[in-house]
A and B are shown apart, each in its own frame.
Chain A
Amino acid sequence: EPEVTQTPSHQVTQMGQEVILRCVPISNHLYFYWYRQILGQKVEFLVSFYNNEISEKSEIFDDQFSVERPDGSNFTLKIRSTKLEDSAMYFCASSDNLGETQYFGPGTRLLVL
């Protein structure tokens, strides 16, 4: 069964450093998303991406964040200058051309020290 994959599974970084989280969505899917989940809190929407551009972004997704689909398979989230409060689980998701249901990857646990 096709699935969303994410790398790395864990990332530890120093405050102020740049990180890139990588995702490979399900191959025939057209809509891509990033969410985050701070420990013990709700899953929160960050950004949606369709047709090579951002469709919607949340207040969390400020100028420190960017997304890119550099080739036909990868979807990346970049945090330019990490803050302590960026520590969270980051989930990538994708959905097909109907966009009805979103399938999530296993997540990248980011720890900013």
Chain B
Amino acid sequence: QKEVEQDPGPLSVPEGAIVSLNCTYSNSAFQYFMWYRQYSRKGPELLMYTYSSGNKEDGRFTAQVDKSSKYISLFIRDSQPSDSATYLCAMSTLQGAQKLVFGQGTRLTINP
């Protein structure tokens, strides 16, 4: 079983739709969870960071963590064409110089 699994998509939705992106993981030692956005041939850009179960909201983005189910989600409200990118989930076991384990990434297209 892969440590972190993420549906690679592609996912295509109309502008204004609510988008739900998900990752599951197998390692219960993961404590810190991140979502990155990656435009084509660019570096990952940090969107959201959480370390506890529950929801965290930042503008149009909501990150959700369910440690009991080993499941994390990113919701994008009022999606815009500029949100078209690959979304990567990432997680680590501890703070400090800890490696991030990434999902495959979900390629998202928002159609005007």
Contacts and interface: CB of A to CB of B under 8 A. Distances in A.
Interface string B26-48: 00000010101000011111100
A19 B36 CA distance: 28
Interface residues of A, number: 29
A94 to B, nearest CB: 10
Contacts of B103: 42
Given A42-B102, A42-B103, A50 B42 contact: no
A92 to B, nearest CB: 9
Interface stretch (B13-21, B64-72, B76-84, B93-101): B93-101
Contacts, number: 66
A4 B97 CA distance: 17
A44 B103 CA distance: 10
A109 B41 contact: yes
B34 A50 contact: no
A105 B32 contact: no
B49 A58 contact: no
A56 interface: yes
Nearest to A97: B96
B108 interface: no
Contacts of B36: 104
B43 A31 contact: no
B74 interface: no
B59 to A, nearest CB: 17
Interface of A: 4, 31, 33, 35, 41-45, 48-50, 55-56, 58, 89, 91, 95, 98-107, 109
